Structure 1
Amino acid sequence: MEEQATSNYEFSTKDFVNSFIRVAKTVLFTPGNFYQHMPTTGGYTPPMIFLLVCLGVSGVLSAIMARGDVLLFFKIIIAGVIFSFIGAAILHLVAQQFFEGKGAYEGVYRVVAYAGVVGLFSWIPVVGLFAGLYGLYLQIVGLEKVHQITPGQAVVTVLITLAVYLIMALVVGVPSFGIRF
């Protein structure tokens, strides 16, 4: 029973499909509970594989929606992985420097990676916008738990990080991760 409870809060490749579905449902429908029980250590591999699956689904379906733009698939995967690490670093830095957050970078990376579950829906026109906003909400909830900061501090942390990301996107050009408006 303990293993079942743990598997709702950590993706495992040992039971790939069932674990993915359990974790995705828990993150999407009970994010406070998920992030409260999510291990903040244990390596980057499980959350990164979870994120890669979400990005893969988004990439394939976005490429289909873009009339077979295979390059879009690769852009979504590569940018998604790179920016998961960069985004987690910015979130972590802001939470620690401005709000004396107590969490570690690994915990923040896990928040970002598991919030990537919204990629399963980001390829859908219009829904993608709301999925992206929900992803920000998931990060806010996760930051509260991992860094032990207030909801307001978590909101400010995510907004500052979003502003930095948008500036970076304007400077270097970043794909929309399949989000359709």
Structure 2
Amino acid sequence: MTEEDRFTKSIFDNALKVIRDPAAFFRQMPREGGFGAPVIFLAAMVFLGLIVNLIGAALIIRPHNIGGGLIMLIAAPVIMVLLSFVSAAVLFLIWRIIGSKQSYETAYRCMAYSCGILPVTSAISFIPFAGVVLSTLWGAYLIISASIHVHGIKPAKAWAVWGIIAVIFIGINLSAEMGSRYAARNMVRQRLEMQKLQDNAVKEMQKAKKEMYK
């Protein structure tokens, strides 16, 4: 097996470990070793998650609306890698506040490897409302596992802090989804009304023509 094959295999192995047994994964996760491996893992999970989104969109949305998704397939991993350093900084700050002594690099590793669920949550996201709840709760559970097994936070404190944050995020995401669905319904209704007006206008013009030639 080549070095590249071993590295690729380790990406999928780590993703499966995060999904199947996050507590064991975080207990065994190296606390340091550079940003290279977690960054590449994160980019790979974002890429796979986007592929799942594109497949789902192709089944639900008309194909000509997916062109932007193909562009994002290239751009999103780069954007997400850049944003991941900010996300890790936020997590690092919260962990420090609740008692962690671990470094920023360790916080980044916890955040990056928690993204091992992205391909699955991308599929779950197509379930109306429940998808948001399940994805957020699963992500919170991974962060709680990292808090306990990497950062040494007491379970009760970890569940309380991240549980509250998860509830807040669920509320925000559900409100956003409700708003987007309401806007989508309004757009469909307006499109139907416009089509009806156009049809009526055509009928009136045809009627006027007939009256002229009588």
How many positions carry a matched residue from both structures? Answer: 157
Give the SS at the match of 2:150: helix
Choose which of 36, 39, 61 in structure 1 pairs with 2:30. 39
Q: Which residue of 126, 134, 137 corresponds with 2:138?
A: 134
Gaps of 5+ in 2: 58-62, 174-214
Aligned to 2:195: none
Alignment of 1:58 with 2:49, yes or no, is yes
Bigger shift: residues 37-46 or 58-67: 58-67
Q: Is the 8 A contact 1:95 1:154 kept in 2?
A: no
Q: Normalising by the residue count of structure 1, what TM-score does the alignment of the two structures yield?
A: 0.71
TM-score (norm 2): 0.62
Of 153-162 and 137-146, deviating more is 153-162
Contact 1:55 1:80 in 2 (8 A): yes
Which residue number corresponds to residue 190 of structure 2? none
Query: Deviation at 1:14?
Result: 6.0
RMSD: 3.1
Q: Is the counterpart of residue 153 in structure 1 residue 157 in structure 2? A: yes
Moved more, 41-50 or 85-94: 85-94
Residue 25 (structure 1) aligns with: 16
Matched, 1:49 2:48: no
Query: What is the one-letter code of the residue matched to 2:44?
Result: V
Deviations 1:66-106 (A, max 9, x none): 34232443564245323422222111111212x22111111
Q: Which has the larger radius of gyration?
A: 2
Equivalent position of 2:88 in the other structure: 88
**Cα contact 2:52–2:119 (8 A) shared by 1:** no
Q: Which amino acid aligns with 1:80?
A: M
Task: Please tell me the residue identity of whatever aligns with 2:142.
Answer: L
Give the distance between the partners of 1:59 and 1:106, measured in 2 at CA: 26
What residue is the counterpart of 1:179 in the other structure? none
State the shift of 1:38 in Å: 0.5
Structure 2 Cα separation of the partners of residues 85 and 65 of structure 1: 29
Deviation of 1:41 after TM superposition, in Å, equals: 0.3
Q: Deviations over 1:27-71 (max 9, x none)?
A: 111111111110010011101111111100111221343342324
- Give identity over the alignment, percent: 27
Mapped to 2, the partners of 1:135 and 1:17 lie a distance apart of 23
5 Å-filtered alignment, 1:7-18, equals 15-18=6-9
Q: 1:82 to 1:153 in 2, by over 3 A?
A: farther
Taking the aligned partners of 2:56 and 2:95, their CA distance within structure 1 comes to 37
Contact 2:23/2:145 (<8 A) preserved: yes
In 2, the alpha carbon distance for the partners of 1:150 and 1:102 equals 13
